[in-house]
Structure 1
Amino acid sequence: MLTILFIVLFIWIFGGLIKLSFRAAWGLTKLLCVFLFLPILLIGLVIGGLIYVALPLLLIAGLVALLARA
């Protein structure tokens, strides 16, 4: 009986910690994408001569940023 109680509490506590870690990892992933990968991608596209691809991506990102703040 104590073993079952231990297993249930163990899964409950560490399940919550795993859930918290996934939420934190998702937040870090969003930050990296916005502040690191997107600017590097846009700069790489411009240097590579693909300004016609980089400009619409920049406009879409700007519109999403404006709408997210509102």
Structure 2
Amino acid sequence: MLYILFMIGLIWLGWKLIVFAIKATWGIAKVLLYIVCFPIILIGLVLGGLIYIALPILVVAGIIALLCGE
């Protein structure tokens, strides 16, 4: 009986750790996307001569950052 309770607890703990790992990974991915990749993409657009695309994206992102900022 204790073995069954132990196995249920172990499976429950393993599931919670997997969910926590997925949430942590998603958080790290968002940070990398917003802080590293987004500016590199905008710089690439400007260097490629597509400033008419990069500028509106930058303005929209800035407005969203101002409205959603804490």
Q: TM-score range by the shorter chain?
A: 0.7 to 0.9
Provide the secondary structure at the position in 2 that maps to 1:13.
helix
- What is the identity, as a one-letter code, of the residue corresponding to 2:46? V
Query: Which residue in the other structure is 2:37 paired with?
Result: 37
- What is the identity, as a one-letter code, of the residue corresponding to 2:38? L
Query: Which residue in the other structure is 2:48 paired with?
Result: 48
Query: Which residue in the other structure is 2:7 paired with?
Result: 7
Q: Percent identity?
A: 50
Between the aligned partners of 2:49 and 2:58, the Cα distance in structure 1 is 15
Runs of 4+ in 1 over 4 A off after TM superposition: none
Aligned residues, how many? 70
Q: 5+ residue gaps in structure 1?
A: none
Q: 5+ residue gaps in structure 2?
A: none
Query: Which residue in the other structure is 1:62 paired with?
Result: 62
Between the aligned partners of 1:62 and 1:6, the Cα distance in structure 2 is 51
